[in-house]
A and B are shown apart, each in its own frame.
Chain A
């Protein structure tokens, strides 16, 4: 058997699985996006009507905007928080493992539990956050965190970051571990302070960790559904209505499978575009370090 045939033979099972469980469903979704399918019965072809509705009704474009804003907030906050914790723990080996486990614990909890717990923390009348603010003399800052469109998305983003900062920290800690100790020692011998070692030695060498963290958190957050669904159902007044929520509402609330498929294709294009652009930029940055 020739070399190329052998390669194809070994690749075939994986290609089959990818084709059956990834490519085929996408092609089906594309096909369904041109119909008025309600989930049962027959699907009638409606041309580009679903895409036309997406482009001409501002509420759907607003959902894309909400999704992008939410993703930006989560990625920036989570990356910075993860980097901060990893930098601290890198310098505190005695408590590193314990703290890493503590930081990782929220990620092991169910979205439903996290959503409901934080919903009560943010509750305006009986919530823990407002009670804490009142206790420390900051009752002026107390508000309906999830009921105010200007704070609802940020509140959910904070919950999301709280849940997944452990992942980001763990990836950065691996990055720190991969930095040769000789470089750290050379920096110390040259009289560099802790901040200087971090800024000029460690940060550039953490480029691969940045790439992994940013791409993973971006792709994951663009598709986010659970926390907005549980905490606000997309409210108040669509302030937290992400594209995923819009898809689910059209699928199971309005039985508009055809239109929901069109929204899914839009989301797929968004995620793929962002992932490609990010990957190109971050890889180039890595190579330049």
Chain B
């Protein structure tokens, strides 16, 4: 199948590449760009392990075609830290031990980033709702909630 050329921004950098029409953004990121942070947990939009930000909004990359991100802005976990300096969300997840096996973590953090960009001072219920598309089998979510709250506070400069 003939590939289609796409130009888009990935973690702040211009990317020019090509992809077959049926390749999902998830597989494109993992197999073509080597960005394996986003994970294939179900490939049905049911677990959120593939979450990336598309124009700032959390989406399941398993349900986006690579060709659909033409001209758009994609952010993945790999673009969050600035060199060795971790993003407040990343710091908080480490400090609060909101990680166990870590497989859901990239998707969870990107969903949290999207949430905080929309609601910088979320209530506990809003945090739960913002993460309701991300399944975690290890942590029971408790420390994830704590980490997101702590990161939100830091990001507000509070």
A, B co-complexed: no
Interface residues of B (CB under 8 A from A): none
